Amino acid sequence: MTNLAQTPLSDRLRSLVDTVQHNERTLRRFQNVELRLIGAQDFASFLDTLFRHLPQEFSLASVTLWLDDRAPMLLELLEPVALRALDHPGLKTSREGGLAAQGLCDDGLPWLGKPCELDDFARRAFFGAAQPPASAILLPLAAGDTVSGCLCLGSDDPARFGDGMATDILERFASIVTASLDNVAHRERLKQLGMTDSLTGLANRRYFDERLREELMRAVRYRVPVACLFIDIDSFKRINDTYGHQTGDRALAAVAACVRQQVRLGDTVARYGGEEFAALLQGDRADALTVAERVRLAVERLDLQDDHGQRIALTVSIGVAASRVGGTASDAVSFGRAMLEEADRAMYQAKRNGRNRIEALVKTGGDHAEHGVLPVGQRDFPLID
C-alpha cells in the first residue's frame, strides 16, 4: 500500500479529490434508495427496495431483514399468511435472530466482520444453511430505546465490512429504514382496517383513537413524553357558505396536506371530524408548541384560490396538550382521553381569544389543567417548557 505522506503533492491532491467524488456518488446512491423506501406505499414495495434494488445498487451478496413480530405496528404485517404471500427468504422473524442481534450489537452499535467467525447460533440465525458472505454488517433498527429489528448486509469482499470502517452513513441509512418501516406499517394498517379519510387522505378518527391508545401504552412503558394537537379551521362555515362546498373540500385537503408536512414521519395526523384535525406527537410540550406554530404559520401562508382566482384566507386555531405519562397500562387509556379533551378545550379557548392562535391550558402544581390559558402569540411565539 502506498504511503500518502511519501507521494508527490499532486498525487495526494488527486487521491483526495477521487475520495471526495467517490463519497458524493455513494451518498447520491444511498439517497436514491432512501427515497424509494420513504415513498413505498406498501410492505411489498418496501421489501422489493431492500431485497432487489439495494443489492443491485451496491453489489451486495445478501440482504437480510430481521423484524421483531412482537412490535405493535408490525403485528399485521408479519402474520404467517402474509409472509407466505410475500415469499422473501431474506425476511426473518425468528426469536433466534433477535437473540443473536442482541448479543452482537452491544449498546445499539453495529457489528461488522466475517460471518465465518460467528458461532453457529448467530450464523444460522441470519444466513441459515447457506454459505455466509465473506464479510457483513449488522445494523440495529431502533427508534429511541425500542429496537424493532436489524438489517444485515453481506459482501463477497472479505475486506468490505471490517474493523476500522466508518459506519456513519450506514447508521443513517438504518434510521431511514426504521422510519420508512413504521410509515409502511401505518399505511398497511389503514388499508386493512379501512381507517383512511377519503377526502384528505389522512387517517380517520377511528384510527387516531387506536394510535392514541398504542402511543400512550408506549409512553407508559418507556417513560417518554407524548403530546397532542387539536386543530380547527377558522370560520369554515363562512368558506362553505361563500364559495361552495367544492371549495370547502379543497380547503380541507389543503390544510390536511399542510399539517402532514409540518410533523415528523412517525407522528400521526387524522381528520377527526368535519373541519377538525388531530395530531399525535412524540415529544414534550415545547416540541408540541414548536410544531403547532409551524402548522399555524404554514396554513396562514396557504395560497388557496376561489373560482375567480382570488386568494381565500385560511387560518387555524390550535389547542396543545402534553405530558410524561406514568402509572399502569389502564391508566394510559384514560389519560389519552383526558389529554385529547384538554387539547380540545384549549383549541376552543383559542377560538374565543381571537382565532389564528395557539393555546395550552395552564397546569397547576399537581399537573391538572386549570381554566386559565397559556396564550401563544402569532408572531411573538415563546417556547414554554
Among the options 34, 188, 275, 293, which is catalytic? 275
Give CA–CA dist 94/187, Å, rounded: 24
Residue 108 confidence (pLDDT) above 50: yes
Instruction: Determine which of 87-96, 128-137, 239-248 has the lowest per-residue pLDDT on average.
Output: 87-96
Name the pairing type of β-strands 316-324 and 225-233.
Answer: antiparallel
Question: What pLDDT, in 10s, does the model give residues 122-138?
Answer: 888 888 888 899 999 99
The domains of the chain, with CATH numbers, are: 8-187 (3.30.450.40), 196-376 (3.30.70.270)
Please, are residues 344 and 359 in contact by the beta-carbon 8 Å criterion?
no
pLDDT score recorded for residue 381: 35
pLDDT score recorded for residue 3: 55
pTM: predicted TM-score of the whole model, two decimal places: 0.54
Give the sheet arrangement for strand 146-155, strand by strand: 91-92, 62-67, 146-155, 135-143, 111-113
Give CA–CA dist 238/189, Å, rounded: 35
Report the mean per-residue pLDDT for the chain: 83
Instruction: Determine which of 66-80, 130-144, 187-201, 236-250 has the lowest per-residue pLDDT on average.
Output: 66-80
Residue with the larger pLDDT of the pair 342 and 16? 342
Going by pLDDT thresholds of 50, 70 and 90, the confidence category of residue 368 is: very low
Residue 324 confidence (pLDDT) above 90: no
Instruction: Determine which of 4-8, 284-288, 349-353, 360-364 has the lowest per-residue pLDDT on average.
Output: 4-8
* 136: enclosing H helix or E strand: strand 135-143
Please, are residues 159 and 135 in contact by the beta-carbon 8 Å criterion?
yes
Decide if 24 is catalytic. no
Going by pLDDT thresholds of 50, 70 and 90, the confidence category of residue 374 is: very low
